[in-house]
Amino acid sequence: MANELKFDILGTSFTITADADEEYLKKILSKYRAAVKNTQKISGISEPLNVAILTGFLLCDEYNKLKEQTEASADQGINPDDWDEAQEVEERTIRLITKLEHALNLFGENREK
């Protein structure tokens, strides 16, 4: 069953008809709105067409990186269901390394005194 979603973004009104669930369409719209705001924030661009083009480019970049990460994970035998957990472990590891480096720097500074 086709669902219709009406919305305004960057000063333009759109109506999308898709076979996807209405909640899914709203979720995608929310992510796109966030991407547009992020593009405006990091670029300082305000021209709607330029913002839309740059946002599309950045989203394609993000998609491609995720696709490459997925393929690399598959090559390494990582189950896609474990990706979120693997990413969380990686983030925790990076935070731990950062704390250790900070502690070692403090220890090194105190040792020299």
d(CA 22, CA 87): 29
Quick: pLDDT tens for 52-74.
999 999 999 988 888 888 777 77
Does the pLDDT value for residue 80 go beyond 90? Answer: no
Q: Which residue has the higher pLDDT, 5 or 69?
A: 5
Nearest to 51 by CA among 24, 11, 17, 21: 11
Cβ atoms of residues 17 and 4 within 8 Å: yes
**Residue 102: other Cβ atoms inside 10 A:** 10
What is the pLDDT at residue 109?
Answer: 52
Quick: pLDDT tens for 12-27.
998 988 998 889 889 9
What is the pLDDT at residue 56?
Answer: 92
Q: Take residue 44 and report the two structure tokens written for it.
A: 């300082």
Contacts of 38 by beta carbon, 8 Å cutoff, 6+ apart: 58
Does the pLDDT value for residue 78 go beyond 70? Answer: no
Does the pLDDT value for residue 113 go beyond 60? Answer: no
d(CA 41, CA 62): 17
